[in-house]
Amino acid sequence: MISEEEIRKLKKCAIRIRKHIVTMTGLAKSGHPGGSLSAADILTVLFFKKMRLKPEDPQWKERDIFILSKGHASPVLYAALAEAGFFPVEELKDFRKLRSHLQGHPDRLMTPGVEMSTGSLGQGLSVANGVALAFKLDKSPRKVYVLIGDGELQEGQIWEAAMTASHYKLDNLTAIIDYNGLQIDGPVSNVKEVAPVVEKWKAFGWETREINGHDYYQIIEALEWADSVKGKPAVIIAHTVKGKGISFMEGKVKFHGVPPSEEEMKAALKELEEQEKEIENEGV
Amino acid sequence: MKEFEYRHLRDAYGEVLLELGEKYRDMVVLDADLSSSTRTARFGAKFPERFFNVGVSEQDLMSTAAGLAIGGKRPVVSTFAIFATGRAWEQIRQSIAYANVNVKIVASHGGVTVGEDGATHQMLEDFAIMRVLPNMRVLCPADYYETKVVVRKAFETEGPVYIRLSRAKFPVIFDEKHDFEIGRAQIIREGKDLTAVGVGITVYGLLQAAEELEKDGISIEIINSPSIKPLDGETIKKSAEKTGKVFTVEEHSVIGGLGSAIAEYLSQHYPVKMKIHGMKDVFGRSGTAMELLSYYKLDPTGIKEEILKFLESS
């Protein structure tokens, strides 16, 4: 059982990550804050509780692998990697700038801790399958995690890969769907409905679990459940809120690919400061 | 004309896979439901735990191979050239070339010699669309023996490589002593009136055409250029300095292939009169492999005609 103190630590870490997301995209005047904020709690649990990693040795032979299939959420990945110590936090301010190693979309050759270059949607699950197959061949206990967007489920390759994963019984692979319900052109249900998501994955031979993707107990428990699934791949359908954590960004399509303005950035950081204080007070 | 033995390039590939599989335990092979045609099935039978058939899903095939490379394996991926480079081009671009992972793509069924299946299955643009990708090397052997050494050398070279093989049996023009290096072309016949550069089946066509042309007193220097990228521009340039004229021929579109690569090089280093022969911006059609080579003037007779036309006009 996880302690309340540990949950508070994770929540504070997620707030730092959200601050980085707002600042990075604000300073870059570009990037994708909405879908980064929706995934912040999931990545916090993965990078600061779940995965076996050695930030001081990014190529450590026993590390778990995380692949951000929805590569446009690079700010949340970079923020998590910097907070974990893969590279200095100060470098985040150069996100998307010429000569920075922090490309608009993740680049495995440039950024320590980025396992795969992604950005063109639909490819991350296939890549994750390949890594999981390699680990199976090696009889390695290493695990593979892949985060997929809900709009991304419209890519045909996701379903090719879904079949491959169940065919090869990749129980060392966990997929997480960041189901925030919004894509660039509007609500996913309007653009092209992806529901029923749970039934689709079940039909493709996966074990499924639905959670609130901002509830730490549920995220942690679901990842433990995924470890217990044998002979099948596991998918966690995480219901999330786009822009989560910043009142005026929550549920707004606009913030999929539009960064906060200078005023919005200040207001967002203020909100996050207040949330930080609240968590500290809880602990007293 | 001389009699030649005909053998499948893909048979050579299947045999080399077994040899490499024995030697390299981290080698894995992937296919997309064409393993009997591509000849990866033999590897699959011998090393079932290291063979992955992902079914009819070429996009998944390429990205899965990239993942296996990330996971520390050395993947070799096969399907038909049209599906490998056409259907899955963007997966190759993002997950293999941009990510610069150690994946070898060995595609069978390149060119018009696919034959009866017709235009939908005849890949005529693969050199162009693979060559344009940074980090990607593009190779195409001319016969059974060259296939063996090309596949071996490619496998033992780190990074992405695309190799085009064919469905039809090709005349055997080399022997088991034949050697090859990535980035090297070979002068396989010396001459003084014209430099003729070929790749794949057209190297045989050039050899035969040159024999005939010699009877008319025309001396052709033939360069075999299995390494389309990196191109051995220096060897071609030296020959061009001697002959003053360059003819290229390939079982590929005249746009973007070997001829284009040579034109890009020579126009910047030694501008010289050139003729690029190949598929003239058209799709193929059904017919036997040999009928199609003749129809598109890629057989010895057709190549000879095209060379004569070029020599007359220049």
Beta A234-239 vs A186-187: how paired, if at all? unpaired
For residue A188, what are its two tokens?
A: 């996913």
Average pLDDT, chain B: 98
C-alpha distance from residue A209 to each of A15, A129, A201, A234, A238 (Å)? 26, 19, 10, 8, 8
User: By residue range, what is the domain housing residue A109?
Assistant: 4-282
Report CA Rg, chain B: 19
Q: Are A109 and A100 in contact (CB under 8 A)?
A: no
Which H or E run contains B277? strand B273-279
Q: What is the pLDDT of residues A46-82, one digit of tens each?
A: 999 999 999 999 999 999 999 999 999 999 999 999 9
CB neighbour class for B226 (10 Å; exposed up to 12, middle 13-18, buried from 19) = buried
d(CA A204, CA A208): 11
Flag if A164 and B59 touch (Cβ within 8 Å).
no
Phi then psi dihedrals of residue B211, to 5 deg: -60, -45
Q: What is the pLDDT of residues A227-264, one digit of tens each?
A: 999 999 999 999 999 999 999 999 999 999 999 999 99
Q: Are B73 and B26 in contact (CB under 8 A)?
A: yes
Average pLDDT, chain A: 97
The answer to whether residue B205 scores a pLDDT higher than 80 is: yes
The answer to whether residue B30 scores a pLDDT higher than 60 is: yes
pLDDT of residue B97: 98
Q: Closest Cα to residue B275, out of B283, B266, B284, B285?
A: B266
Q: Residue A282: pLDDT band by 50, 70, 90 thresholds?
A: confident
pLDDT of residue B138: 98
Q: Are A135 and A172 in contact (CB under 8 A)?
A: yes
Instruction: Please enumerate in sequence order all residues whose Cβ is within 8 A of that of B16, keeping only pairs 6 or more positions apart, or say none.
Output: B147, B148, B151, B152
Q: Closest Cα to residue A13, out of A87, A114, A111, A82?
A: A82
Q: Which domains does chain B have, with CATH numbers?
A: 6-171 (3.40.50.970), 186-313 (3.40.50.920)
DSSP per-residue codes, B20-54: HHHH-TTEEEEESS-HHHHT-HHHHHH-GGGEEE-
Q: Is B285 helix (H, G, I), strand (E, B) or coil?
A: coil
Which residues of A fall within a CB distance of 8 Å from B63? 123-124, 126-127, 130, 157, 161
The answer to whether residue B1 scores a pLDDT higher than 70 is: no
Q: Around A167, how many Cα atoms within 13 Å sit in the side-chain half-sphere? A: 13
Integer distance in angstroms from the first to the last C-alpha of chain A?
21
What residues of B act catalytically? Answer: 58
Q: Is A84 helix (H, G, I), strand (E, B) or coil?
A: helix
pLDDT of residue A224: 98
Which residues of B fall within a CB distance of 8 Å from A105? none
Flag if A109 and B100 touch (Cβ within 8 Å).
yes
d(CA B246, CA B243): 8
The answer to whether residue A283 scores a pLDDT higher than 80 is: no
d(CA B12, CA B147): 6
- Which residue of B lies nearest to A140 if distances are taken between CA atoms? B71
pLDDT of residue B314: 86
d(CA B314, CA B300): 21
Flag if B94 and A119 touch (Cβ within 8 Å).
yes
For residue B165, what are its two tokens?
A: 């093989």
Q: Are B82 and B109 in contact (CB under 8 A)?
A: yes
CATH of the domain at A127: 3.40.50.970
pLDDT of residue A82: 98
The answer to whether residue A284 scores a pLDDT higher than 80 is: no
For residue A126, what are its two tokens?
A: 């296939």
For chains A and B, what is the number of CB pairs under 8 angstroms? Answer: 106
DSSP per-residue codes, A197-259: HHHHHHHTT-EEEEEETT-HHHHHHHHHHHHH--SS-EEEEEE--TTTTSTTTTT-GGGGT--
Q: What is the pLDDT of residues B124-177, one digit of tens each?
A: 999 999 999 999 999 999 999 999 999 999 999 999 999 999 999 999 999 999
B75: β partners: B28
Q: What is the pLDDT of residues B273-289, one digit of tens each?
A: 999 999 999 999 999 99
Q: Is B300 helix (H, G, I), strand (E, B) or coil?
A: helix
Flag if B70 and A137 touch (Cβ within 8 Å).
no
Flag if A129 and B67 touch (Cβ within 8 Å).
yes
Q: What is the pLDDT of residues A109-163, one digit of tens each?
A: 999 999 999 999 999 999 999 999 999 999 999 999 999 999 999 999 999 999 9
d(CA A83, CA B91): 31
The strands making up A234-239's β-sheet, listed across from edge to edge, are A65-68, A144-149, A173-179, A234-239, A207-212
pLDDT of residue A53: 98
The domain total for chain A is: 1
Q: Around B40, how many Cα atoms within 13 Å sit in the side-chain half-sphere? A: 28
In this prediction the ipTM stands at 0.97
Q: Are B163 and B176 in contact (CB under 8 A)?
A: no
Taking the CA of residue A79 and the nearest CA in chain B, the distance in Å comes to 21
pLDDT of residue B226: 98
Q: Residue A1: pLDDT band by 50, 70, 90 thresholds?
A: confident
Taking the CA of residue A128 and the nearest CA in chain B, the distance in Å comes to 6
d(CA B218, CA B191): 9
Q: What average pLDDT does the segment B7-14 reach?
A: 98
Q: Residue B62: pLDDT band by 50, 70, 90 thresholds?
A: very high
